[in-house]
Structure 1
Amino acid sequence: MRILFVGDVVGNAGQAMIATYLPRLKQKFHPQVTIVNGENATRGRGIDQTAYKHLLLHGADIVSMGNHTWDNPAIEDFIHDAPRLIRPANFSAGQVPGQGFTLMKVNAFEVAVVNLQGRVFMNPSDDPFAVATDLITELRQKTKLVVVDFHAETTSEKEAFAWCFDGKVSAVIGTHTHVQTNDARILPAGTAFLSDVGMTGPYDGILGMQRSNVINRFINQMPTRFEVAENGRNTLGACVVDLDDNTGKATKIQAVQINPDHPFIS
């Protein structure tokens, strides 16, 4: 089983990169399941139905979210009818719409994809470790192929989660910080791990936002509105994970970048 995971899509620039390169990535790597984090797809915060359908149209099988899930109120208009959209499973249990995981049938196998959010330097949420313990135990009764999008701020929390569930899930892919890390590896019990897969969107912004506003905020600490840097060069962050269908263990993980410094090679 091969999984293609694409990092946080930011604004129109990110959507354009998906339209241009996701079909080409799928043609190159031939994944059975393609996961795209879309929590920043509309104006850098949240997602609407148009953006959701755009991601599906260009090759996403499952769209995951994160701490900006509710920033665009339009999500509430369609989340109930979006079976391939998942938000963090540890959002207040039973109090918010949507689902925290989904199962996708691939030939004779099912792949479970789980979305969770960390708690360090993030908005309050339920304990992701406790929620994952119960949820993963339930899912493993159906399939050994379990992929987790762990949306968190700190590398330490992402690493702790991966080590905690090593051998119990197939992969833990970190999202949220928008900078791809250089630590793709397979842990001893067979879980593939990458602290952060990176973002898909403006390459010359600061985490996808216009540079001037971010720089001024650091200089003067005055409130400012962060806007997506829609003009300029773009980037795409992703990874490819190979899984053993029978054991659920990862056999390979490869980070992928597409930008002016890392041109796409077919």
Structure 2
Amino acid sequence: MSEKLNVLVIGDIIGKAGRRALAEHLPGLIDQYQVDFTVANGENLAAGFGLNARVAEEMFALGVDVMTNGNHCWDQREFLQLIEEDDRHVRPMNFSPHAPGRGWTVKESAVGHKIAVVNLIGQTFMGPWDCPFAAADKALEEIPDDVRIILVDMHAEASSEKMGMGWHLDGRASFVYGTHTHIPTCDEIIHASGTAYQTDIGMTASYQSIIGMKVEGALYRMVQRLPQRFEAVERGGSIFATLVSVDANSGKAISIERIHIPPS
């Protein structure tokens, strides 16, 4: 009989609004869905820009096991050292080879299942990064053969590039999902070879905002086309996350379900 593992994936957590929503609801979600392992994207944890040890520890204390990152990875200077010291953090595999930290990590669930978490960043509208498809192949070559469950955060702007990664890794990863656009998509699917896929998990933050930032500042940039500081909305956070059940022996996805908890 196959053994099922429940994995909860949380998209970009934006500042205080996102952290407060998780503090209120994440322990209950873990109990309700019998979650064995939790991954979250942490690149916007500290007031919307990067993360530091304090906010990271808040998330780990709530039940997050691994945090992925993206283009805001280095916004908080202390993170350059933190990612070297703590393998619960990963950054995009296709960053410069000089970047500190790692592009994948393997951690264990409470009952001892080994789970690999891979982080990638897209090229379209994102910057001059190395090829994410080649980086994904390299990560899968490096991950030990006894690791069956592989989760891949594709931090990218273009939905087509994310979908391409989903098909590129079909049958080789348990769940390929997108982050970065902060808008949840309803295209969750399990591909023919057993890989679950979703284009974007969505942000855990206030949706009374423009992708988590105060409307006034973001609109000023758009309308006036002049510089304006972005500020993260601090209250009224919603949680968007996705629950994937995986066969622990084969690493194939069994089911996928979007989760939404509106603001209290």
Fold-level match, TM-score > 0.5?
Answer: yes
Which residue in 1 is equivalent to 2:56? 52
Q: Look up the equivalent residue of 1:70 and give its one-letter code.
A: W
SS in 2 for 1:26: helix
Q: Mark the runs of 5 or more structure 1 residues left unpaired by the alignment.
A: none
> Does structure 1 retain, via aligned residues, the 8 Å contact 2:12–2:179?
yes
Q: Distance in 2 between matches of 1:140 and 1:53?
A: 28
Query: Which of 222, 226, 230 does residue 226 from structure 1 map onto?
Result: 230
Q: Distance in 2 between matches of 1:113 and 1:142?
A: 14
Superposition deviation, residue 172 in structure 1:
0.4
Identity of aligned residues (%): 38
Q: Look up the equivalent residue of 1:169 and give its one-letter code.
A: A
RMSD value, Cα: 1.3
Superposition deviation, residue 203 in structure 1:
2.1
> Does structure 2 retain, via aligned residues, the 8 Å contact 1:118–1:128?
yes
Superposition deviation, residue 108 in structure 1:
4.9
Query: Which of 233, 236, 244 does residue 241 from structure 1 map onto?
Result: 244
Query: Which of 49, 68, 72 does residue 68 from structure 1 map onto?
Result: 72
Query: Which of 83, 103, 116 does residue 100 from structure 1 map onto?
Result: 103
> Does structure 2 retain, via aligned residues, the 8 Å contact 1:65–1:115?
yes
**Superposition pairs of residues 162-177 of structure 1, within 5 angstroms:** 162-177=166-181
Q: Distance in 1 between matches of 2:175 and 2:77?
A: 31
Query: Which of 225, 241, 259 does residue 256 from structure 1 map onto?
Result: 259
Q: Look up the equivalent residue of 2:176 and give its one-letter code.
A: V
Deviation per CA, 1:56-83, whole angstroms, max 9, x where unpaired? 0111011111110001112123222212
**Superposition pairs of residues 1-266 of structure 1, within 5 angstroms:** 1-93=5-97, 95-106=98-109, 107-139=111-143, 141-231=145-235, 233-260=236-263
Q: TM-score, normalised by structure 1?
A: 0.94
The alpha-carbon distance between structure 1 residues 144 and 201, as it changes in their structure 2 partners (threshold 3 A), is: same
Q: Mark the runs of 5 or more structure 2 residues left unpaired by the alignment.
A: none
Q: TM-score, normalised by structure 2?
A: 0.95
> Does structure 1 retain, via aligned residues, the 8 Å contact 2:212–2:233?
yes
> Does structure 1 retain, via aligned residues, the 8 Å contact 2:20–2:237?
no
The alpha-carbon distance between structure 1 residues 63 and 121, as it changes in their structure 2 partners (threshold 3 A), is: same
Q: Look up the equivalent residue of 1:89 and give its one-letter code.
A: M
The alpha-carbon distance between structure 1 residues 89 and 48, as it changes in their structure 2 partners (threshold 3 A), is: same
> Does structure 1 retain, via aligned residues, the 8 Å contact 2:68–2:119?
yes
Superposition deviation, residue 143 in structure 1:
1.6
SS in 2 for 1:86: coil
Deviation per CA, 1:162-210, whole angstroms, max 9, x where unpaired? 0011001111011111110010110111110010000111221110000
Q: Distance in 2 between matches of 1:49 and 1:20?
A: 20
Q: Distance in 1 between matches of 2:177 and 2:262?
A: 21
Number of residues of Structure 1 aligned to a counterpart in Structure 2:
259
Q: Distance in 1 between matches of 2:121 and 2:128?
A: 10
